[in-house]
Amino acid sequence: MVDTARRERIRAEVAKQHAAAVSLRDKIVDAPTKDLLRPVLNSLTDVDSVFLSSVRDDRTASQEAWWLDWADLTLQAAVAQLHDITELVQKYGGPEKVRTIR
């Protein structure tokens, strides 16, 4: 059984979060701080290219649920990371002023 609604909900959320991460990255001046967003963008790409692409119409309902559960879990982890990074950027002066010390 194909859960098209859940697939589309996840795809839409991935697109929304990807756009937010890219927007933040493009506003950040400091290159090392921009790099903090790489794992977020990689996770969002994984949701789309690994989990959602692996859900085939010939899978059983339980197999599809398993793949979509992992897609949701990975998506929520990326959302949490993006939220934390966004808060840190704002806390330390915004995207134009924040700097990462290495």
What does the domain layout of the chain look like in residue ranges? Answer: 4-91
What's the predicted TM-score (pTM) here?
A: 0.91
Read off the pLDDT of residues 38-67 as tens digits, 9 standing for 90 and up.
999 999 999 999 888 887 777 888 988 999
Predicted local distance difference test score (pLDDT) of residue 1: 64
- Rounded (5°) CA angle 45-15-3: 85
d(CA 66, CA 14): 18
CA dihedral sign of residues 44, 50, 51, 55: positive
Which residue do the tokens 């290219």 mark? 49
Q: Which residues of the chain have pLDDT under 70?
A: 1
Helix axes 38-46, 61-91, angle to 10 degrees: 160
